[in-house]
Structure 1
Amino acid sequence: MKVRASMKSLKNQTGAQVVRRRGKVYVINRLNPRFKGHQG
C-alpha cells in the first residue's frame, strides 16, 4: 500500500475524494486505490 506524504498532491489525482472522519482528513481514491492518505 502506497501512502503519499503530501495531501495536496493526492487531492489533485483523478478520482480522489477528501473525506473527514473522526476529526481526521482522509483522501481515498476508488479509481486508483494506491493513492491514500490521512492527516490529523
Structure 2
Amino acid sequence: MKVVSSIRSLKVRHPNCQVVRRRGRIYVINKTNPRFKARQG
C-alpha cells in the first residue's frame, strides 16, 4: 500500500478508483484491480 503526498493523483490511474475516508485516514480503493491501493493520513 502506497502512502502519497497527493491522493488525488492516484484516483486518475484507473476509472474504478474510489477515495474513501475511514477512521480519519483517506484511502484509494479499487475493486476490479486491487493493486491500486493507497493510504494517506
What TM-score does the superposition give when structure 1 sets the normalisation length? 0.74
Q: Which residue of the partner structure matches residue 9 of structure 2?
A: 9
- Any runs of at least 4 consecutive aligned residues in structure 1 with deviations exceeding 4 A, and if so which? none
Gaps of 5+ in 1: none
Gaps of 5+ in 2: none
User: 1-side partners of 2:34 and 2:3: how far apart?
Assistant: 12
Report how many aligned residue pairs link the two structures: 39
User: 2-side partners of 1:38 and 1:4: how far apart?
Assistant: 5
8 Å Cα contact 2:3-2:39 kept in structure 1: no
8 Å Cα contact 1:24-1:39 kept in structure 2: yes
RMSD: 1.8
8 Å Cα contact 2:2-2:37 kept in structure 1: yes
8 Å Cα contact 2:3-2:40 kept in structure 1: no
